[in-house]
Amino acid sequence: MLYDQHVHSAYSEDGNPLICDIAARAIEIGLRGVTITDHFDLCTDPIGYPFYMAHEEARKADFAAARAQYGDRLELRWGLELGNPFLMPGVADPILAERSFDFILGSVHYLSDGRDVYLVDYSTPERRGEALSMYFEDMLTLIADGGFDSLAHLDYPLRPMKGLMEPTLVPWREQIEAVLAALVRRDMALEINTRGFMDWKNRQEPEDWVLRRYYELGGRMITIGSDAHVLHAVGGAVDRAEAKLRELGFEGVTVFTDRKPALVPFA
C-alpha cells in the first residue's frame, strides 16, 4: 500500500537519479506508487525554474521510458514541487497553465525577503524567531495563492538547526495553527515528509502535535513523501509514516492523479 509522493530526479538541480532507476528501486523495495516531483522554484539561484525548463524534454523522455518499462508493476505519476511562487508573481501561472501534472507540492524554500531558508542565520533565539515568523507568514501567502495540492515539509527550517534548539516548533504554534486552518479551508493536503526520520530530529516532519491539530481542524488529506534526492532514499521510512497516521486516527493516505485526490484506505 506504500506510496512515495515526493521524489527528486536528475532533473532537479540538486537531484541525482534517473527516473528509470527510481522506478526500478521503487519496485525493488515494494512501493505501490511513486510520484516524481522535481523542483520548480521561483528564484534565480541554480535550483530555480530555468533549470527545470532547460531539462523538461529530457525529463519527459525519461519518464515515458520508465512508464513503458515498469508501468505494469508501479503506479508512476508525473509531479512537480512548486517553490515560493510569491517571489516572482505571475511567472509560474502561464507556464504551468500549459502543462498537466498528476500532483503539485507547494513549498517555501526562500523567504519573501529572498533569503534561502536553509542558509538563514539561526544562531540566536531572536534571529530564529524573526525568520520562522516570516516563514509561516510566507506559507499563508503560498496557500492563499494556491496552484498546488499538498503543503510540503512544514517544519523545513528545522533541518539546518541541529544543536541550536530542541526539534520542536511549539513556540510558533499559533502561526502553525493558522497555516493548518488555511489548508483545511482550501481543501488542501498536508505532507508527512519522512526525511526527518533520517536526520537529527529522528521523527517525521512535522511533529505529532501538528498532525493531531490538523486532524482536529478537520484535515483528512495526508500525502507521504521521502523527499529523496538520491536513489537509496526513495521510499525511505514511508512505512513508519503510515504507522504514525494509523496511530493518530487517519484512515489512509491521499494519492493524487490528474490533480484529483483519492483516499487509499489502510488495509
CB of 83 within 8 A of CB of 40? Answer: yes
Distances in Å between the Cα of 177 and the Cα atoms of 24, 35, 83, 86, 212 are 39, 28, 21, 21, 11
Instruction: Please provide residue 103's backbone torsions phi and psi, each rounded to the nearest 5 degrees.
Output: -160, 135
Q: What is the DSSP letter of 155?
A: T
pLDDT single digits (tens) 226-249: 999 999 999 999 999 999 999 999
Neighbours of 207 (CB within 10 A): 19
Average pLDDT, the chain: 97
Distance set, CA 219 to CA 106, 180, 201, 213, 238 (Å): 17, 8, 24, 9, 20
Domain count, the chain: 1
What pLDDT is recorded for position 150?
Answer: 98
Contact predicate 108/65, CB 8 Å? no
Domain that holds residue 111: 3-265
Q: Cα-Cα-Cα-Cα dihedral of 145, 193, 101, 97, to 10°?
A: 20
pLDDT of residue 267: 83
Query: SS3 of 38, please?
Result: strand
Total length of the chain: 267
For the chain, the C-alpha Rg in angstroms (whole number) is 17
Residue 173 sits in a domain of what CATH number? 3.20.20.140
Which of the residues in the chain have pLDDT under 70?
1
pTM of the complete model:
0.97
Residue type, 143: I
